[in-house]
């Protein structure tokens, strides 16, 4: 009854894998097998599964109603938490997903600039609406320094979307010189997540800020995944000043969420009852259940906790790099999020990932499933505060064993 057996494409696996329940650092499948979960619903579970404070907040709120058809105090509280953590942001509009957040941010940028076109990076993932379903994981994107827009099946967005190379600052500047005056916005992840956890090259985001000012487009920083870092996003860690920020994942405490944050002068274009404003609705936007879960979750993820988790991630990543290099693997990422690649040198953009041995990566992932560890098939692994040092040690040991088994000379 469900196409492919899944409600989101990336969860399709052969053989299929069905979850029964989650407990802290573990995800238990329908056969009763528990595995240490390093997927964490693709970065959205910062405390693992069923964190007691979050469960309590959800239960308490459920008893008070799950949706009101009226704004609630909880929205104000979660907006305050976000504004406090993102310097440069003064207002927040909630959505139900990161997809809706990037869709809305681009609308705000289009309205502010009175321009239609946008630009995104090859390999960048910003959700499933048409303008951004372009060159996510293209097989052939044309010349490396002049990537051609490749629309996903069924998307027409490429007519209005230009595509930039993530690892080539000079080319980005040249393309912006040519087309930047037509762009309403450049949308960018500070670390490309879905493509394989590759942080932007040093200088790229600063250059985009400069180009945005020069050519009059908005810099929209997609921190749907990376807001976790330092407790205030990579913009805080790297001192980047976007015009708008898109959020999602952890701020909903495990429930569906997205948000756009920005300065009042831009965000106010959403405020009724002004004329010529942007219309934006959604039956479940800012629903009290998500807000309560987000507040409880984020209260337990203060700056110190975020820094500790990132430091643990940094240590794990450098240990894995050292252990896995002899088996022809590399590891990319930042803080608590990383990706193992079946490539001897760390990829810097989607084209490098595409050139890696994805078949081997899948064998490694399924070998780890057999040993009790759940990683994304593309090699992504994400820490939560529920992981213990023992979990990380065990993972390193298991990864080394599977890496050896799948090494090209042995396999
Ligand atoms: N932007 C980024 C950077 C993402 O990683 C994702 C989801 N993985 C999205 C947007 C879309 O968010 P959602 O899946 O909640 O629509």
CB of 125 closer than 6 A to ligand 1?
A: yes
- The pLDDT tens digits for 100-123 are 999 999 999 999 999 999 999 999
CB of 99 closer than 6 A to ligand 1?
A: yes
- The pLDDT tens digits for 209-264 are 999 999 999 999 999 999 999 999 999 999 999 999 999 999 999 999 999 999 99
Question: 76 CA distance to ligand 1 centroid (A)?
Answer: 23
Nearest CA to ligand 1 atom 1: 126
Question: Are residues 171 and 123 part of one domain?
Answer: yes
**Structure token digits, residue 227:** 């807001």
Question: Are residues 218 and 122 part of one domain?
Answer: yes
Question: 99 CA distance to ligand 1 centroid (A)?
Answer: 6
Would 134 be classed as within a structural domain? yes
120 neighbors 188 (Cβ within 8 angstroms): yes
Last residue of a domain, one of 264, 299, 334: 299
Question: Are residues 83 and 31 part of one domain?
Answer: no
pLDDT of residue 231: 93
What is the residue range of 238's domain? 53-299
User: Could you tell me the pLDDT band of residue 16, with boundaries at 50, 70 and 90?
Assistant: confident
pLDDT of residue 25: 98
* Domains identified in the chain, total number: 2
- Mutating to test ligand 1, I would choose from 104, 129, 198, 224 the residue with most ligand atoms within 8 A of its C-beta, which is 224
Q: Which atom of ligand 1 lies at the shortest distance from residue 127's CA?
A: 11
Give the Cα separation of 194 and 210 in Å (integer).
26
Question: Are residues 136 and 108 part of one domain?
Answer: yes
- The pLDDT tens digits for 61-78 are 999 999 999 999 999 999
pLDDT of residue 410: 54
Last residue of a domain, one of 240, 270, 299: 299
Nearest CA to ligand 1 atom 13: 98
Last residue of a domain, one of 254, 279, 299: 299
CATH number at residue 311: 3.90.1150.10
Q: What angle do CA 247, 341, 312 make, to 5 degrees?
A: 60
Question: Are residues 150 and 255 part of one domain?
Answer: yes
Would 399 be classed as within a structural domain? yes
Question: 42 CA distance to ligand 1 centroid (A)?
Answer: 9
- The pLDDT tens digits for 28-73 are 999 999 999 999 999 999 999 999 999 999 999 999 999 999 999 9
Count of Cβ atoms closer than 10 Å to residue 15 Cβ = 6
Burial of 302 (0-12, 13-18, 19+ CB in 10 A): exposed
- DSSP state, 134? B
DSSP result, 184-236: EEEEE-SEE-TTT-EEPPTTHHHHHHHHHHHHT-EEEEE-TTGGGGGGTHHHH
Question: Are residues 286 and 163 part of one domain?
Answer: yes
Would 411 be classed as within a structural domain? no
pLDDT of residue 275: 83
- Mutating to test ligand 1, I would choose from 99, 105, 106 the residue with most ligand atoms within 8 A of its C-beta, which is 99
Point out the residues that are catalytic.
Answer: 125, 222, 249
Question: 394 CA distance to ligand 1 centroid (A)?
Answer: 30
Question: 102 CA distance to ligand 1 centroid (A)?
Answer: 9
CB of 189 closer than 6 A to ligand 1?
A: yes
- The pLDDT tens digits for 161-195 are 999 999 999 999 999 999 999 999 999 999 999 99
CATH number at residue 266: 3.40.640.10
CB of 227 closer than 6 A to ligand 1?
A: no
CB of 44 closer than 6 A to ligand 1?
A: no
Question: Are residues 216 and 331 part of one domain?
Answer: no
Question: 386 CA distance to ligand 1 centroid (A)?
Answer: 23
Question: Are residues 61 and 149 part of one domain?
Answer: yes
Question: Are residues 90 and 37 part of one domain?
Answer: no
CB of 222 closer than 6 A to ligand 1?
A: yes
CB of 124 closer than 6 A to ligand 1?
A: no
Question: Are residues 279 and 380 part of one domain?
Answer: no
CB of 97 closer than 6 A to ligand 1?
A: yes
Question: Are residues 127 and 25 part of one domain?
Answer: no
CB of 253 closer than 6 A to ligand 1?
A: no
Q: Which atom of ligand 1 lies at the shortest distance from residue 96's CA?
A: 15
Question: 246 CA distance to ligand 1 centroid (A)?
Answer: 9
- The rounded mean pLDDT for the chain is 96
Give the Cα separation of 342 and 154 in Å (integer).
31
SS3 103: helix
User: Could you tell me the pLDDT band of residue 14, with boundaries at 50, 70 and 90?
Assistant: confident
Question: Are residues 388 and 339 part of one domain?
Answer: yes
CB of 258 closer than 6 A to ligand 1?
A: yes
């Amino acid at each position: 009854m469900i196409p492919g057996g899944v409600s989101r494409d990336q969860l399709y696996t052969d053989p299929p894998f069905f979850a029964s329940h989650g407990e802290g650092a573990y995800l238990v499948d329908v056969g009763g097998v528990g595995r240490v979960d390093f997927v964490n619903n693709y970065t959205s579970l910062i405390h693992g599964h069923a964190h007691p404070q979050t469960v309590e907040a959800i239960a308490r709120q459920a008893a008070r109603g799950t949706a009101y058809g009226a704004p609630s105090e909880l929205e104000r509280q979660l907006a305050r938490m976000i504004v406090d953590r993102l310097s440069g942001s003064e207002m927040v509009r909630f959505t139900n997903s990161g997809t809706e957040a990037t869709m809305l941010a681009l609308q705000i940028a289009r309205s502010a600039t009175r321009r239609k076109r946008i630009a995104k990076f090859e390999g960048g993932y910003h959700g499933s609406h048409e303008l951004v379903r372009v060159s996510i994981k293209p097989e052939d994107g044309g010349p490396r320094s002049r990537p051609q827009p490749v629309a996903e099946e069924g998307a027409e967005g490429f007519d209005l979307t230009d595509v930039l190379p993530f690892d080539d600052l000079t080319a980005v500047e040249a393309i912006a010189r040519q087309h930047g005056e037509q762009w309403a916005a450049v949308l960018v992840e500070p670390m490309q997540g879905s493509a394989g956890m590759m942080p932007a090259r040093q200088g790229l985001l600063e250059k985009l800020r400069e180009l945005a000012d020069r050519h009059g487009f908005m810099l929209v920083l997609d921190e749907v995944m990376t807001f976790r870092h330092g407790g205030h996003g990579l913009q805080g860690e790297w001192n980047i000043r976007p015009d708008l920020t898109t959020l999602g994942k952890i701020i909903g405490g495990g429930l569906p969420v997205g948000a756009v944050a920005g300065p009042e002068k831009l965000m106010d274009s959403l405020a009724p009852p002004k004329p010529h404003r942007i219309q934006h609705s959604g039956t479940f936007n800012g629903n009290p259940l998500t807000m309560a879960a987000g507040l409880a979750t984020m209260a337990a993820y203060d700056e110190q906790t975020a820094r500790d988790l990132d430091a643990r991630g940094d240590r794990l990543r450098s240990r894995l790099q050292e252990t896995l290099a002899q088996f022809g693997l590399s590891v990319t990422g930042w803080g608590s999020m990383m990706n193992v690649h079946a490539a001897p040198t760390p990829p810097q953009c989607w084209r490098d990932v595409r050139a890696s041995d994805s078949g081997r990566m899948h064998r490694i992932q399924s070998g780890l499933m057999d040993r009790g560890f759940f990683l994304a098939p593309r090699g992504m692994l994400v820490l939560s505060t529920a992981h213990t040092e023992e979990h990380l040690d065990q993972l390193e040991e298991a990864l080394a064993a599977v890496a050896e088994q799948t090494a090209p000379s042995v396999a």
